[in-house]
Amino acid sequence: MKNPLILVTNDDGITAPGLRSLIEFMKEIGDVVVVAPDSPQSGMGHAITIDNTLYSKKVIIDKDKGAPAEYSCSGTPADCVKLALQELLDRKPDIVVSGINHGSNASINVIYSGTMSAAIEAGIEGIPAIGFSLLDYSWKADFSGVGRSAKKIVQEALTQGMPRGTVLNVNIPKTDGAEPKGIKICRQARANWREKFDRRKSPTGREYFWLTGEFELLDKGEDTDIHALSEGFVSVVPTQFDLTAHHAIQQLNSWNFNE
């Protein structure tokens, strides 16, 4: 029986500590191939490269015996998955895992996330996919307490199968190396970013802007990802890429377009 083939990608770049940790965790489950951006691509969402060339090359990051095949890609996280599936892999992966992102992709953050967009791209192609994020933006974040939860979720996805048209958005609380309290299935919390632009001037006098903002939670529910994370649990949100607002169809059908 063949080991499962696991495609690993991210949006923080191929040398990011979160990716390197996820590779080690996944090597305990199956055969790993890595296709990841050659530079940070955070906040790219589901952007793809259509007006420029894409470059990819095989790279060696870890020289240990048994290190997986790795490819860097000049494009976005979604590009990485597209290129992997169409050009670089000799068979369809059994699962795609993206991350581990340095920072939260819970709640509204999923909209902007390159980490989750890579997973969603795989889901569009009918491949089980999971995006992992740790609530620690530091490059030196401690991922040592993440492994057990990440491996358990991936193993369950491989064993049980994923719901059709669904990708998992997994966020892990910052525990500084300790294991989280457990894993909770959640809904996405309703929230927004109260954004501001810091107006500045360059040394040459040219005006420019730097985006800042504050996260605004609009949801008091105890079944949300934000609540689970605040209590020290891993949040798992089933996410769909069908953006149809099915609940609105009946109301829209009552509109009169003929007058």
The long-range contacts involving 137-144, CB below 8 angstroms and separated by at least 24 positions, are 137/102, 137/103, 138/102, 139/16, 139/17, 139/102, 140/17, 141/17, 141/18, 141/102, 141/174, 142/175, 142/176, 142/177, 143/17, 143/18, 143/21, 143/100, 144/21, 144/177
Would you say 52 is a known binding-site residue? no
Instruction: Look up tokens 């305990």; give the residue.
Output: 28
Taking CA atoms, 148 is separated from 159, 171, 212, 251, in Å, by 16, 14, 34, 46
Would you say 11 is a known binding-site residue? yes
**Which residues are paired to 168 by β-bridges?**
130, 238
Would you say 72 is a known binding-site residue? no
Tokens read off for 189: 């919390």
Would you say 3 is a known binding-site residue? no
| Positions at the binding site | 11-12, 42, 101
Going by the annotation, the residues of the binding site for a divalent metal cation are 11-12, 42, 101
